[in-house]
Amino acid sequence: MSSTPDKISVLFCCLGNICRSPMAEAAFTHVITTSPPHIQSRFTLIDSCGTASYHTGSSPDSRTVSELRRNGITTTHRARQVRDSDFHEFDYILAMDEMNLRDLEARKRRGKRAEEGKARVMLFGEFGEGKREIVEDPYYGGEDGFRRNFEQVTRMSKRFVREVLGEEV
């Protein structure tokens, strides 16, 4: 009798869902799809959202798209706001900063049955340096902020796999 490992779903969340979280989604997806098949098969759903609805339906910021392309990654993501159902659908909801985390926790508390959801809401930086690393919003800055974000989310994605699955990628 063989046991099938649990499947894992991950949702990344920032403020507007056009810079950090779509970059994290794309980088994480790239880490997973370039991993061995036994790791790929563990992930069922990878997505991203924002706590606010400012950019719903928009493509990621052009600087996010450029940084992803520079690293050989493409994205077709469209911005969306977090939904109550996300707390039931995803195993992990990973916030980019403390404000995103507070907003997600508040949404989970006041959402219709969201508090009963399975999602573990946490800071993505729990998988970073020092366990509380923040992925700063690069929106009002230059290209360097987007490069830094890509380095962070890629490193954190690999550490997530290492800590959650016990596998190096």
Secondary structure of the chain as H, E, C letters: CCCCCCCEEEEEEECCCCCHHHHHHHHHHHHHHCCCHHHHCCEEEEEEEECCCCCCCCCCCHHHHHHHHHCCCCCCCCCCECCCCHHHHCCEEEECCHHHHHHHHHHHHHCCCHHHCCCEEEEHHHHCHHHCCCCCCCCCCCHHHHHHHHHHHHHHHHHHHHHHHCCCC
Q: By the 8 A CB rule, do 137 and 99 touch? A: no
Q: Is 20 one of the catalytic residues? A: yes
- Given 13, 14, 19, 49, which residue is catalytic? 14
Q: Is 103 one of the catalytic residues? A: no
- Given 47, 86, 103, 137, which residue is catalytic? 137
Rounded CA-CA distance 1/30 in Å is 33
- Given 20, 63, 97, 107, which residue is catalytic? 20
To the nearest 10 degrees (0 to 180), the angle between helices 20-33 and 143-165 is: 50
Q: Is 63 one of the catalytic residues? A: no
Catalytic residue ranges: 14, 20, 137
